[in-house]
Amino acid sequence: MHFRLIFVLAGALWLGAGLPSVAAAATVGEQATHAIQLVGQGDYETARSVLRQAVSGRPDAPLHLAQLEGLILRQQGRNREAVEVFRFILSREPNFTPARIELSSALTDLGDSDAALHQLQIIELGSNDPEIRRQARSFGESVKDQRPYGFSGYLSVLPSTNVNRGSGHAVVKVGDMDFEIDEEGRKQSGVGFGAGGNAYRSFYLDKQSRLTWAGSVDLKNYSGSGFDELSLSTSLSLARRFGRLELQAGPIVDYRLLAWEPYAFRYGFSLGGSFELGPHVNDHGIGTPYFRVKGTPCLG
């Protein structure tokens, strides 16, 4: 870790166990806002000087100074080092929500969506501010949408009164003639089980484009019968975002077996789109616009 960070974080070690809550660590004034703007402009030394004056005399000053170092690292694209800083702050004061917000954002940028979601859940469950909870929930949904991969599966019992899709009648009348349906053609009841799953993997080409592969398998099995079904499906889609509008297109293939014999094969081309009616949570995190650097929340 950079020597300057060691020096700043060492100062935080002097803090006692009775640190003020995040409610007490409220807005630190116009000077702090100016410091954040300077970080956005790349003038880090001046930002440090301005912030030291802004938080001088505050018992939580080391936390704010360490937070600024984390923001500088993020601004420089050094997210892994920034994660160390924010985790250090939270080890000293778990209620310092600005650090937890930045930690979740940095983890998201590093692709560790599970860890980011964990931090957001802590914010959502622990914050007394309903707006912060709402934004944490909203950003969490955004993180889930950005996951590069996913999987889900299921198991189920399948009771059926007509497992063979047979007739419910023993005799069928056609014109003036009666036709008796044999036992195999009449509906049969049975109990089976179903299992399946689907998975996807996305590859982000840039911030507006991604290529996604998806596949699924579904099995219906009835022991001792010839009515088992197996369905396989796969697709590849290219998605492109235009502001709030996202369009996607690509090939799709379905293959189905009935009684373990080929039954149907389909292929085609899919088109789709979505439009966000509400504002989208910023990709870099959550928080009030008052404390943002390129959309990133920072000091409390």
Residue 43: predicted pLDDT = 93
Q: Cβ distance 67 to 102 under 8 Å? A: yes
The per-residue pLDDT for 5 is 41
Question: What's the pLDDT score for residue 152?
Answer: 85
Tell me what pLDDT residue 187 has.
Answer: 67
Render pLDDT for 18-34 as a digit per residue (tens, 0 to 9): 333 333 334 456 777 78
Q: 186: buried, middle or exposed (CB in 10 Å: 19+, 13-18, 0-12)? A: middle
Spans of the chain, pLDDT less than 70:
1-29, 145-146, 160-173, 175, 178-190, 223-225, 278-300
Helix (H) or strand (E) segment spanning residue 86: helix 79-92
Q: What's residue 184's pLDDT?
A: 62
Q: What is the pLDDT of residue 182?
A: 64
Cα distance between residue 288 and residue 136, in whole Å = 12
Going by C-alpha positions, the residue among 118, 146, 123, 145 that lies closest to residue 134 is 123
